[in-house]
Amino acid sequence: MASEPNPATPPGAPALSEPRLSRRILAAWLPWWPTERLVRRCPEARNHPFVTVADSRGRQVIDAANTLAAHAGLSPGMALADARAVVPDVVVRPADPATDALALERLARWADRFTPRVMPDGVDTIFLDIAGCTRLFGGEGALMASLRAALEDFGLTARLALADTPGAAWALAHYGAEDPAVVPAGTGPDGLMDALGELPVAALRLSDEIADGLVSFGLDRIYPLSVMESVKIVRRFGVEPVRRLEQARGLVIEPITPLRPLPPREAHRAFAEPISTASDIRAAVDGLLDDLCLELSRSGEGARRLHLVCHRVDGDRRTLTVGTSRPLRRKKPLMGLFAEKLDQIEPGFGIDEIALATDVVETLDELQTDWADAAAGGYRAADEEELADLLDRLGNRFGFGRIGRPVPQESWLPERGVRREGLEGGSASRSRAAVHPGAPGNWPGDRRRPLRLLSPPEPVEVVWPRVGGRLPGVLHRGQHRQLRALEGPERLECEWWRGEAPCRDYYLAEDEDGCRYWLFREGRLARGGARDPGGVSRWFLHGVFG
């Protein structure tokens, strides 16, 4: 059926195309990307000057520096020897541009939760075409705020800029004065030039050689370059400055090429003759895990949930699913998880095909498992792996939501200084400290606390001796214990915003049999910190050492 002519179109004029949704390009620049991504593997660099170095003409020079190193005067291109003269104890790691680029691609794949059109650019920038996606987040500002908050949770610093072209967004993110910088939608070439005119010519993503050449001719800003004749620029500096300028203004379309979907992480086995015995099924799963773990190792990922699908000759199929409390690609523990469930598979008249796939993967950081950490009192990464393997077995047998462990939370009161954290979804084991609750740094180490806390604290009676110079005794559950040592008090109070809160004086006590207790005295306080004479001081036993 022929379409009716558009009366608004003059005779002989080409037909008007359908209106196309304008692009809105969000540029996320990560200025400290090479160093910030390594902080998780280099904990000593969290609060210390940290640089990566590369070989250049037979000497080592700084390739990237973190914020503390930059504030100390260290910058890319500086010789490492000169940097150590400025900061003798600077933390140094080798630069790895290939891994930086691969990690940036993984971050770009993670960012597809904001828009399906995501593309990494260079070594430290991600482009997101958010046109048509902002209503899902409550507008452009809300989307940018969500992206920034998520990147900050990863420990990454980002500068954001939003414009109708990738070139303008890149220039404002890298050289703009505002963060985030936003150019209103629908701004034409002239409006984009107004936003970019005062930026340096390097903001056009020119090579260093061309940018330095333009500056040497006095063309240090974008606006003077834009008013020159294109022929003169091309004759002296080539087509790159003209092409980049037209891309930034929207006169030449610069495409955003989304990343290709990752191939599925799966392995297959097809059999000429159906298998039905438990040993054959186990051998097949063993081989599938070899293939899958190799694929995960190449991609730097670990599996969080795996599905084993057995296709029977009668057209039916049986599926087994196992989950892990942390990203995992080691064959032995994965095989152990499946081995506990393989007897649930009913082969029927035989199985002619088996597939093993993982639909939840996460980036996996390698850990040293051979050396003991003397500073941590013998804590080893191998201990963490053993604990995580136990959690995986218990979680698959009883459910991850039914497994929990105590973790610290910020409160001075002992009963509020700990909370239960479950393993549902594996959130409790995404880092070394999370898998092992006793790892260094998890619990405050500057205060002595009993191994066992009583909940609730049990009241005790303190019996003061009539003869001076002796310590009191404690009457607990009908038994009298004479104290021979008493240390304290340690004042602990609740958070001020909770209103009426207990005020406690804690004591470390030891009786004549060597048993140690954690006692506290609770009572109202008058103004000035003196104990209210009208109030009653009560004593409680809150914990026992050993």
Per the CB < 8 A criterion, the answer to whether 157 and 30 are in contact is: yes
> Are β-strands 181-182 and 538-545 bridged in parallel, bridged antiparallel, or unpaired?
unpaired
**Using the 8-state DSSP alphabet, how is residue 21 labeled?**
P
| Predicted pLDDT of residue 473 | 87
d(CA 358, CA 323): 10
| Predicted pLDDT of residue 443 | 57
Per the CB < 8 A criterion, the answer to whether 125 and 161 are in contact is: no
Domains and CATH numbers, the chain: 20-48+90-261 (3.30.70.270), 266-363 (3.30.1490.100), 374-435 (no CATH), 452-545 (no CATH)
Tell me the three state secondary structure of residue 415.
helix
d(CA 306, CA 304): 7
| Predicted pLDDT of residue 440 | 46
d(CA 84, CA 107): 32
Per the CB < 8 A criterion, the answer to whether 304 and 362 are in contact is: yes
Bridge partners (DSSP) of residue 490 are 506
Is this prediction's pTM over 0.75? no
| Predicted pLDDT of residue 377 | 45
Q: How far is CA 369 from CA 385, 389, 392, in A?
A: 9, 14, 19
If one counts every other C-beta atom within 10 angstroms of the C-beta of residue 382, the result is: 14
Task: State the burial class of residue 282 (Cβ atoms within 10 Å of its Cβ: 0-12, 13-18, 19+).
Answer: middle
pLDDT per 10-residue tile (average), the chain, 546 residues: 41 38 86 85 78 87 89 89 89 86 87 90 91 88 92 89 92 90 88 90 90 89 88 89 91 86 80 90 91 85 87 87 84 88 88 88 62 46 67 76 74 76 49 44 66 86 76 86 87 73 84 90 55 62 86
Sorted by sequence, the CB contacts under 8 Å of residue 325 that are 6+ apart come out as: 388, 391, 392, 395, 400, 423, 426, 428, 429, 435
Tokens 């009993």 sit on residue: 450
d(CA 324, CA 293): 14
Backbone angles phi, psi at 164, to 5 degrees: -85, -10
| Predicted pLDDT of residue 447 | 72
- 511-544 CB burial, b ≥16 within 10 A, e <16: beeeeebbbbbbeeeeeeeeeeeeeeeebbbbbe
Sorted by sequence, the CB contacts under 8 Å of residue 377 that are 6+ apart come out as: 440
